[in-house]
Structure 1
């Protein structure tokens, strides 16, 4: 599925994103001339990982009838020396054994966005 980005109606760098019927906004931070009225691209990238991780863990727990009440994923990042370092903290809630917790954390690393971010990227750009 493709995602399209276009200038939004208001805001200097406010951008409207669309994927199928879903639409949302992105903006630059004030340090880059934006209004911070929506997540910036780094926050969107981190949000994709957080969402994918939480969904993947919940789906696995449901399939395996694990008593997971909730999962919270917190993502922070720093950029140093050309490396984008992501710190992911996962909080599992529910009456879970140590083995179940370990398995759910293992499964978290198998979400498609995690795999993409830890794999090789190739981006082809063409001007139309």
Structure 2
């Protein structure tokens, strides 16, 4: 669960997840002061982080010599269509079979699955 509230007279949302505090902001051209990542960047970050963590967990479980995983995610919105681009690079002495298996697993990381699923948002106002 994430809690968000507006930070005084700024274009900043203060966010709290468990014991972690952070902010989301807007760039100057949108009226903000670039005080934190914007909401789209948090979605990109969620997919990138999930990809890295899933790769590390799977490699550790299967004894794959994965040293690191580098991921770049970009949301591209054009009109009513949105695409998400994800580039993955593995570092380590991996066989082609291990690289292919990791790539298959990463197509099913939890955030990847969420972003490809049919989503319903339920909102209540108090």
User: Same fold per TM (> 0.5)?
Assistant: yes
Aligned residue number for residue 7 of structure 1: 6
Alpha-carbon shift at residue 20 of structure 1 (Å):
1.4
Runs of 4+ in 1 over 4 A off after TM superposition: none
- TM-score, normalisation: structure 2: 0.95
| 1:54-93 matched pairs, under 5 angstroms | 54-93=52-91
Q: Which sits farther off after the overlay, 81-90 or 59-68? A: 81-90
User: How big is the alpha-carbon RMSD for the aligned residues of Structure 1 and Structure 2?
Assistant: 1.1
- TM-score, normalisation: structure 1: 0.94
Aligned residue number for residue 116 of structure 2: 118
Q: Number of residue pairs matched?
A: 126
Aligned residue number for residue 34 of structure 1: 32
Query: Structure 1: any 5+ residue segments left out of the alignment?
Result: none
Alpha-carbon shift at residue 31 of structure 1 (Å):
2.1
Alpha-carbon shift at residue 83 of structure 1 (Å):
1.6
Alpha-carbon shift at residue 81 of structure 1 (Å):
2.4
